[in-house]
Amino acid sequence: MKYVSTRGRAPVLDFADVLLAGLATDGGLYVPEELPSLPGATDGRRPYVDVAVETMWPFVDGAMAPGPFVAMVADAYAGFDHPDVCPLTEIDRRLWVQELWHGPTLAFKDVALQLVGRLFDAELTRRGERATIVVATSGDTGSAAIEACAGRSTLDIVVLHPAGRVSDVQRRLMTTVDAPNVHNVAVEGTFDDCQDLVKAMFADDAFRRDLRLSAMNSINWARVMAQLVYYRSATEAVGRCAFAVPTGNFGNVLAGWYARRMGVPVDRLLIGSNRNDIVCRWVATGALVSEEVVPTISPAMDVQVSSNVERVLFELLDRDGARVAELLGRARALGTVEAPCDPVFSAARLDDDETRSVIAEVHASTGHLVDPHTAVGIGAARRLRRGGDEPIVCLSTAHPAKFPDAVEAATGIRPPLPDRLADLAERPERFDLLPADLGVVQAHVRGCVGTSARGGASQHLP
């Protein structure tokens, strides 16, 4: 399997090089040269690891041997606290939630990053190299990436999160990890500012080479590859269905879109957004219009520049990288652009009051507590459903205890953290507060990598 950039001017790479590169050198995102077709569904449900290996193997074939890959996949999911890894719960007639938060940091990002961290470590060890992971997070990717990297001798990781715009639990899952190769930065700005800083660091060729930069957020194809699996696993359990997906940076719903193109029986993709509804407006009007980010109770979706839309545009524009680059250039210059959209997408927007209402109603009718992001997905599913018999799986992206204030405000119940995290609020935090200034952040990243390579701790109490 070879991979090409969505902007058409970067080298064609194999999986191992795409894994370590993250972002393409032309600023684009890597996608497979050709999408493989998946075998048809088997009778009965299979173990998640079996589905994962079969789904992902075409993407890594030629870059590693089957035996080590199977072992890595099995090891990645051995620590999840449910035997099904991503279990399904029916909360209403033919409406299921698929719980993606049974991994170590209580969010769907663990499903991909527990594997991606192992893939990085194996490939860097094989090459005798060390890399620096730089991640922008709206809350969940950061802790999942840190969990995947902490203590690995081949990796340094620097995570940028927007100061004051993630929940306390989200922040503490990042900032309480005491490992010399882990470095947290609170950026005075929004998630989009963090994302812009990461992209600018990758665009600086000398900086990128010197620090051997790579990425673990959803600009890295390996993340998307691993997220394909739960779409396939769900359809093997419930049959052909629609999926409702709360989305911010568009990576999660993008995996469902690719799964459908590979033959997974996905009928429709129902996008749930909060007030930061650039994707909803794109689906409704065909225009990508970036506006100011508004803080909400579903902060992982507080995004106005959804990077993974670029991969969809590449496919819809006949894989013409020059057209993609020109369109995105106009979007940056003008703040708005007309862009093609796939009719398989429908979208709905919920504000904070509507989100709280869904949390309260789900608890009252089923006894289940859901986090605000999952509630947005459920609200979108109910609003966009084509009759009561349409089967819909809503992706439940985070444990409710990651957002206890929002859940308690809606239900009167404060969801507890799992026992292994019960003392999280007492653990010391380590992070640095920096302005959204590229020069300042780059200097800090250089200092972090130099310190951890010497074996010292680079984190500081704010």
Whether 429 and 134 have beta carbons less than 8 Å apart is answered as: no
Task: For residue 2, indicate whether it is catalytic.
Answer: no
Catalytic annotation, pick one of 2, 109, 199, 402:
109
**In angstroms, rounded to a whole number, what is the distance separating the alpha carbons of residues 376 and 279?**
14
Q: What's the rounded Cα separation, in Å, for the pair 438 and 200?
A: 7
User: From the CB of residue 256, how many other CB atoms can be counted at a distance below 10 Å?
Assistant: 30
- The phi and psi torsions of 141 (rounded to 5 degrees) equal -60, -40
- Phi and psi for 69 in degrees, rounded to 5? -65, -45
What does the alpha-carbon distance between residue 308 and residue 330 come to, in Å, rounded to a whole number?
Answer: 17
Half-sphere exposure of 138 (CA within 13 A, CB side): 30
- Of 294, 295, 301, the C-alpha closest to 271 is 301
Cβ atoms of 427 and 168 within 8 Å: the answer is no
Distance from first CA to last CA of the chain, Å, rounded?
Answer: 45
Q: On the CB side of 140, how many CA atoms lie within 13 Å of its CA?
A: 33
CA triple 314-318-319, angle to 5 deg: 45
Maximum Cα interatomic distance, the chain, rounded to a whole number of Å: 61
Enter the tokens of residue 239.
Answer: 């049959």
- C-alpha distances in Å from residue 31, one per residue of 28, 271, 353: 10, 22, 38
Instruction: List the catalytic residues.
Output: 109
